[in-house]
Amino acid sequence: MRLANGTHSVHSVAHRETFHPVIGPVAEAEALYVRQLRLPERLAGQGGEFVVWDVGLGAAANVLTVLRACRTSGRTLAPLRIVSFDHTLEPLRFAAAHADALGYFGGYEAAIAELLVRHRVEFEDAGRRIQWELHLGDFPTWLAVHPAALAGENLPAPHAILFDAYSPAKNPAMWTQPLFAQLFQLLDPARPCALPTYSRSTMLRVSLLLAGFYVGAGHATGEKEETTIAANTLALITEPLDQKWLQRARNSTSAEPMWEPVYRQAALTEETWEKLRRHPQFA
C-alpha cells in the first residue's frame, strides 16, 4: 500500500497490519537498527564474522536496509552472516513481485530470488562476503528446541538481533517472557549483542529484564517517539531504564509479562516485582 509520505509498504490482510505504517520500511529500519546499533561502525571494527539474527523476515526491508548501509563501512570488510526467521515466505514473495513500487530491492533481486528457492544464499556485496540463511517455521517452537538445533546447524550466536514481529496484541506468541528468556540463553556472554525493537511497552521491558537482558530507552524512529533496546551488556545501551521507570512500572496496570501466548494486561504480581527490583541494572 501507498503511505501518506508517498513511500510504499507491505500490508498483511490476514493480520490487518501494515509493515512500518508511518514512515515506511527503509526509514524505520535505518533509525531503529542501522543508526541505533551503529552497525556500519561495529562492522568496520569487527575482526571475524558479524552475525545478525533477523526475527520476522517479512518483506526483508530490515535486512536489505542493513546490507545497503554496510556497503561502505571501512577498510576491513568483515563477513556478514544474516540468519532470518519467519513462518511464511508470502510477504517476501509478494514484495519481490512488487519490488519496483517498494523501491528497496535494487541490486538484491537475484539474492532474494535464490533465498526464496534455496533458503540460503551467499554473495559478495561491495567486497564483503554475505551469507544469508532462512529458518522457515514457528520461531517460538524453534527456540524451545534450540540447544540441539544450534549444535546441529552450526549456528553462531548473534551480535545483533532485529526483532520485528507483529504487535503483542495481535501476535502474543512472539512476545512472551519465556520466549525472551530462551533467546537470552542462546546469546554468548562473551559476545556483546543488542536487540532493538519498536515497542516501548512496560510489559515488554519487564519481560526482557526478567529474561536477563539490560534494557534501555531506544531511539525515536519517526514512527514512535521512543522504542526499546535490550542487550547482554550495559555498554551497548546509552539510556538504561532507571529508578523512575522502575517506579512507573510498579504502578502500571500493564506491566506483568505474558507468561503464555495469550494477550492480556495486568499489574505486576508481588513475585515479579521482587525479581524486577533485584535486577543488577537497578542495584
Ligand X SMILES: C[S@@+](CC[C@H](N)C(=O)[O-])C[C@H]1O[C@@H](n2cnc3c(N)ncnc32)[C@H](O)[C@@H]1O
Q: How many CB atoms lie within 10 A of CB 126?
A: 13
- Which set of grid coordinates corresponds to residue 8? 510504499
Minimum CB separation of residue 54 from ligand X in Å reads: 7
If DSSP codes are grouped into helix, strand and coil, which group holds residue 8? strand
Rule CB under 6 A: choose which of 88, 185, 247, 251 binds ligand X. 88
Whole-number Å distance between alpha carbons of 252 and 27:
31
Minimum CB separation of residue 91 from ligand X in Å reads: 5
**Of 82 and 215, CB closest to ligand X:** 82
Minimum CB separation of residue 172 from ligand X in Å reads: 10
Contact status: 24 vs ligand X (CB under 6 A): no
Rule CB under 6 A: choose which of 165, 215, 231, 241 binds ligand X. 165
80 bridge partner residues: 50, 130
Q: Which of 82, 85, 90, 139 is nearest to 108 (CA)?
A: 82
**Of 58 and 158, CB closest to ligand X:** 58
Contact status: 281 vs ligand X (CB under 6 A): no
Contact status: 195 vs ligand X (CB under 6 A): no
Site for ligand X in 231-270 (CB under 6 A): none
Contact status: 25 vs ligand X (CB under 6 A): yes
Residue with cell 551467499: 122
Contact status: 87 vs ligand X (CB under 6 A): yes
Rule CB under 6 A: choose which of 112, 130, 173, 204 binds ligand X. 173
In the chain, beta strands by DSSP E: 11-12, 17-18, 50-55, 80-86, 120-125, 128-136, 160-163, 194-197, 214-218, 227-231
**Of 112 and 268, CB closest to ligand X:** 112
Contact status: 58 vs ligand X (CB under 6 A): yes
Contact status: 61 vs ligand X (CB under 6 A): yes
Whole-number Å distance between alpha carbons of 113 and 127:
21
Residue with cell 536487540: 195
**Residue whose Cβ sits closest to ligand X:** 58
**Of 96 and 236, CB closest to ligand X:** 96
Q: How many CB atoms lie within 10 A of CB 189?
A: 10
Contact status: 166 vs ligand X (CB under 6 A): yes
Q: Which stretch binds ligand X (CB under 6 A): 106-114, 170-178, 202-210, 223-231?
A: 170-178
Task: Give the CB-side neighbour count of residue 70, counting CA atoms within 13 A.
Answer: 35
- Which set of grid coordinates corresponds to residue 16? 490487518
Residues within the interface to ligand X (CB under 6 A): 19, 25, 56, 58-62, 85-88, 91, 138-140, 164-166, 171, 173-174
